[in-house]
Chains A and B, each alone.
Chain A
Amino acid sequence: MLGLIKKDLLIIINNFKQYLIFILIFIFFAFNGIETIIYFPTLVITMILFSTFNYDDMSKWNSYAIASSITRKEIVTSKYIENIIYSVAISLFTVLFTLLISLINPINLPHIIISTLGSLIGVILLFSLGYPLIFKFGAEKGRIFLVILIFSIAILIGILISIFGISPLIKSFASHYLYLILILGPIILYIISYLISLRIYLKKDF
């Protein structure tokens, strides 16, 4: 498993030049008001993590990994674990970086922390939806299906709300348990996503 996590880390390091432009954009805007681009680092790390699947697919790495006595379970688990590692690390980085910036530009720290947590939750939701699709259909098709899925969910929720409105029961439940839902919801979804990916991958032929 460690070998797989190192493999993706090395892919990221070797492609670092490609990501440099994003870092420069981040730094430039950071000094001009961090609050507007607080979601940027998580967005970039999401993109990078999704791209590791592309590199894997291009060289049919998964077949090689399986033939190299790595279990299918390890392949799936490593992706879910490294996603948590990178997402949490980038969130901590964002908070620490904004603290540093606050020495020059005063900032609203609670707002920054909530925004960062919000983007962390967003990323976990995105991966929860995206990973089973990628494990099933591969990196290219999986990402297209992910976009379709997100739009479908958004449209469906929009339609349901416009027809039925938000019932007072849901409103009161959400306001009472907001933080519980925000924290437990993504964790439960992430675990379910992992189990689905595992089921897909254990049966997959390459």
Chain B
Amino acid sequence: MESAIKIKNLTKSFDNFSLNIANLEIPKGTIVGLIGENGAGKTTLIKCILNIIQSYEGNIKILNKNAKEKLALKDVGVVLDGIFFPESLKVKDISVILKNIYKNWDNTLFTNLLNEFNIQKDVQIKTLSKGMHKKLEIATSLAHKPKLLILDEPTSNLDPIVRNEVLDLFRTFLEDEDHTILFSTHITSDLENIADKLLFLNDGQIILSEDMDTIRESYGLIKCDASYFTKIKPEDILKYRQNKYDYEVIVKNKNNYVNDDNIVVEKLSIEDLMVLMIKGE
């Protein structure tokens, strides 16, 4: 399968943090959720991919072009946390500017998206509420008909109704098999709703890269006592945490345990997965 993003031996070091990704491929046609704690390196990774940070070592390819090449990002739409147009501009100004930047800019599509989101064109960007602002960023990212969307916290600040609208937009975007989305989020339900694949970043490294189907079908959470814990095959254990009275264990092959009457294998939520991946052993 062709890759939308291909990363090899990426290293970016700061004084107190470094991002190290040996190998990462995001296939075309997928939607990949990037999760991790604050400061885990999600935004740094996105900035490297988008050439906002360019003093990294390693190689990044976007849509078969070197990320540092001119026009490598012409078919990429972005929503970045706290990064957008100057606030004194009006919503309609975005179109005036971007039609001179993107060859594929579609003013009608932009207007339609604004109408869909109930955003007025004549107002200054600074007058928009946080949610409206985010919707404007999303509309802007889609209006030059990109093939790849890279989104840093696209659904933060949105109420559940709008969040669902946005997720629907992403689903529609993905109806074209050539389209791909990489998005970072703290809202784990979004991942459960929409993501094909999950990338878990911790302390600058990918600690888990797994298909959501595999997580849904094979991964499970077992809460058990010490004696049962010893019976779980070590190769089935992804992470575990010893609590005061019990053990919480993420197993990679829940089917080995679901028929055991002594314990209950719970569905593994992304939230439990996140907590145990970081707090567990």
Distance in angstroms between the alpha carbons of A14 and B96 in the assembled complex: 14
Interface pair A205/B84, CB less than 8 Å apart: no
Asked if A10 and B96 make an inter-chain contact with CB atoms under 8 angstroms apart, the answer reads yes
Known A3-B101, A10-B96; contact A67-B76, beta-carbon cutoff 8 A: yes
Kindly identify, within residues 50 to 80 of chain A, every residue whose CB is under 8 Å from any CB belonging to chain B.
55-56, 58-61, 63-64, 66-71
Give the CA-CA distance A73 to B80 in the complex, in Å.
22
- Give which listed residue, A4, A14, A69, contacts B89 with CB less than 8 A: A14
Does A58 lie within 8 Å of B86, measured CB to CB? yes
Contact of B85 (CB < 8 Å), options: A59, A66, A67, A71: A59
Q: B78 an interface residue at 8 Å Cβ cutoff?
A: yes
| Stretch in B66-74, B187-195, B202-210 touching the partner | B66-74
CB < 8 Å neighbour of A7 from B55, B86, B87, B150: B86
- CB <8 Å contact, A64 and B100: no
Q: How many angstroms from the CA of A61 to the CA of B102 in the assembled complex?
A: 16
- For residue B109, CB closer than 8 A to chain A, the reply is no
Of B32-40, B45-53, B167-175, B257-265, which stretch is located at the interface? Answer: B45-53
Is B1 interfacial (CB-CB < 8 Å)? Answer: no
State the main secondary structure of chain B at its contact with A.
loop
Q: How far is the CA of A14 from the CA of B89 in the complex (A)?
A: 6
Shortest C-beta distance, B17 to chain A (Å), equals 13
* Nearest CB on B from A198, distance (A): 14
Residues of B close to A108: CB separation below 8 A: none
Q: Is B186 an interface residue (CB 8 A)?
A: no
Check if B266 is an interface residue, CB within 8 A of chain A: no
Instruction: Tell whether A64 pairs with B73 under 8 Å between CB atoms, given A14-B90, A205-B54.
Output: no
- Residues in A with CB closer than 8 Å to B16 are none
Docked-complex contact A63 and B71, CB < 8 angstroms: no
| Residue of B53, B85, B90, B102 ringed by the most chain A CB atoms within 10 A | B85
> B85 to A64, Cβ gap below 8 A?
yes
Given that A60-B83, A63-B80 are contacting pairs, would A7 and B50 also be in contact in the complex, using a CB cutoff of 8 Å? Answer: no
Q: How far is the CA of A7 from the CA of B93 in the complex (A)?
A: 8
| Chain B interface residue number, banded | 20 to 34
Assembled-state Cα–Cα distance A83/B262 (Å)? 77
Q: Give CA–CA (A3, B144) in the complex, Å.
A: 14
Q: Could you list some 7 contacts between A and B, CB below 8 A?
A: A6-B100, A10-B90, A10-B97, A60-B82, A67-B51, A67-B150, A69-B74
Give the shortest distance, in Å, between B24 (CB) and chain A (any CB): 19
Residues on the B chain within 8 Å of A60, using CB: 80, 82-84
Cα A203 to Cα B70 with chains together (Å): 15
Residue numbers in A under 8 Å from B101 (CB-CB)? 3-4, 68-70
Cβ of B268 < 8 Å from any Cβ of A? no
B80 A64 Cβ-Cβ under 8 A = yes
Whether B243 sits at the interface, judged by CB under 8 Å, is: no
Is the beta-carbon distance between A67 and B52 smaller than 8 angstroms?
yes
